[in-house]
A and B are shown apart, each in its own frame.
Chain A
């Protein structure tokens, strides 16, 4: 007996097939769907496991079989009891993720050390739980502060991976949003918008860039208040399903936390991302050039360093992101130079194609004074 699943904004119901039109049929073979329903608020854990009655308390890791049934492991287990530390570290492959973070991000020693600390905390927490030692479950929500381009998003992505590998989240993916993705423009618009974002981020990391823009304390009618309330709720009640990382400039974040009581206490890890030095930015530039299969001519490196020194003192400098933008423009100038040479009848070589010359860099208007209207356009991008 054919039936059709019809959806409404709130539920899905089965109706007789006669009421449908042929055009409405799905174009490719479909599995049998007897009772499709929307994703429920409280998921089950599959057959064989008890049905969940509500969001389960965080910290559901099972105790190892050999330690089951021990009343109080803290008192009853001998201190010499061995735990499977090597096995967990090996299986989770945390060193692999941290190694990748090391390769991807230049410098940031303190940030990497903090990530290593968090990873260690989670490993030890898992080990303690494996022998039945109960303690306050770790809070995983974080705050990353620092200027643009300092590597916050990259670290957030790796954090998601670490949390996944250690079994603290179900997916480990990163959903990056800003105020516009969360706050609506009219009454009733905000909640579904925020709900949709939270739904997408479930099982992973919700990265809110420039989080302080969500809530405008001086505007009582701003819908951001609604977003904050929803976030606070989900950060508290669905810790097993979602990790929230708020990011932005340090000063603004501090003000945001003082404006929204209860938010700071739900965030366990505050990590500050320092600006890169010129040497570090040059290291980033070399890495990017190499990744794109180019190389600097001997005098081009010095020219790029001079460029960076000038650019850093100009508005809206964004660390690694500015380096990438600058290199994109250098490549464009190289392309124009080569195109013109070829038009004049010159034969190009592989060396021509892969070499970025000093002149490709020195043509930047940053060298012409580097102020608004010259080196930097009104929107802050250098030209």
Chain B
């Protein structure tokens, strides 16, 4: 899923879906502090693989999250 300057690294599970829980899915603790919406995580590049939301570039993912509110965000497309 990463392109442009993105670097494919370790698979990191950010959240997992478990319909048995009261809240549908839960974050794993690997997500950036302050991120709490899954579709926003998807917009930042995370993808669902089965019941797990993953990223292959945690550093860039966290960077994107930290700077999403900045005046400018580059898009390397």
CB-defined contacts of B21 to chain A, threshold 8 Å: 61, 166-168
Q: How far is the CA of A203 from the CA of B21 in the complex (A)?
A: 13
CB-defined contacts of A30 to chain B, threshold 8 Å: 4-6, 60, 63-64, 73-76
The bracket for how many chain A residues form the interface is 35 or more
A99 interface contact, C-beta 8 A: no
- 1/0 per residue, CB under 8 A from A, across B41-63: the answer is 01111001000010101011101
Q: How far is the CA of A39 from the CA of B68 in the complex (A)?
A: 10
- Among A3-11, A73-81, A208-216, the one that faces the other chain is A3-11
Q: Contact between B23 and A169 (Cβ–Cβ < 8 Å)?
A: yes
Q: Contact between A168 and B24 (Cβ–Cβ < 8 Å)?
A: no
B11 interface contact, C-beta 8 A: no
Q: How far is the CA of A36 from the CA of B38 in the complex (A)?
A: 13
Q: In the complex, how many angstroms separate the beta carbon of B38 from the nearest chain A beta carbon?
A: 6
A43 interface contact, C-beta 8 A: yes
Q: Contact between A3 and B75 (Cβ–Cβ < 8 Å)?
A: yes
Q: In the complex, how many angstroms separate the beta carbon of B50 from the nearest chain A beta carbon?
A: 10
CB-defined contacts of B23 to chain A, threshold 8 Å: 60, 167-170, 240-241
Q: How far is the CA of A47 from the CA of B46 in the complex (A)?
A: 12
Most chain A CB within a 10 A radius of its CB, from B23, B67, B72: B23
Give the contacts of B7-49 with A (CB-CB under 8 A).
7, 15, 17-27, 29, 33-40, 42-45, 48
The bracket for how many chain B residues form the interface is 35 or more
Q: Contact between A36 and B43 (Cβ–Cβ < 8 Å)?
A: yes
- Among A21-29, A179-187, A246-254, A318-326, the one that faces the other chain is A21-29
Q: Name B37's contact: one of A5, A26, A43, A59 (CB within 8 Å).
A: A43
Q: In the complex, how many angstroms separate the beta carbon of B25 from the nearest chain A beta carbon?
A: 6
Q: How far is the CA of A24 from the CA of B77 in the complex (A)?
A: 16
Q: How far is the CA of A13 from the CA of B26 in the complex (A)?
A: 29
Most chain A CB within a 10 A radius of its CB, from B6, B39, B63: B39
A367 interface contact, C-beta 8 A: no
Q: Contact between B7 and A29 (Cβ–Cβ < 8 Å)?
A: yes
Q: Contact between B77 and A32 (Cβ–Cβ < 8 Å)?
A: yes
Q: How far is the CA of A60 from the CA of B48 in the complex (A)?
A: 20
A294 interface contact, C-beta 8 A: no
Q: How far is the CA of A126 from the CA of B22 in the complex (A)?
A: 8
A20 interface contact, C-beta 8 A: yes
A265 interface contact, C-beta 8 A: no
Q: Contact between A28 and B72 (Cβ–Cβ < 8 Å)?
A: no
Q: Name B18's contact: one of A24, A28, A167, A240 (CB within 8 Å).
A: A167
Most chain B CB within a 10 A radius of its CB, from A7, A45, A170: A170
CB-defined contacts of B72 to chain A, threshold 8 Å: 4-6, 20, 24-25
Q: How far is the CA of A280 from the CA of B39 in the complex (A)?
A: 49
Q: How far is the CA of A171 from the CA of B68 in the complex (A)?
A: 21
Chain A residue, CB-CB nearest to B24: A45
Q: How far is the CA of A169 from the CA of B24 in the complex (A)?
A: 9
Q: How far is the CA of A31 from the CA of B25 in the complex (A)?
A: 24
Q: Contact between B22 and A59 (Cβ–Cβ < 8 Å)?
A: yes
CB-defined contacts of B59 to chain A, threshold 8 Å: 28
Give the 9 A-B residue pairs with the shortest CB-CB distance, closest first: A167-B21, A31-B45, A62-B19, A29-B5, A24-B72, A202-B36, A39-B37, A5-B73, A43-B37
A/B interface sample: 24 pairs, CB < 8 A = A2-B74, A2-B77, A4-B72, A4-B73, A5-B72, A5-B75, A24-B72, A26-B73, A30-B6, A30-B73, A32-B3, A33-B44, A33-B75, A34-B77, A36-B44, A38-B40, A40-B40, A46-B25, A49-B24, A59-B22, A167-B26, A173-B33, A199-B36, A200-B34
Sample of 10 more A-B contacts, CB < 8 Å, known A31-B44, A32-B4, A40-B37: A29-B60, A30-B4, A30-B64, A31-B64, A32-B76, A35-B43, A44-B39, A168-B23, A170-B36, A171-B26
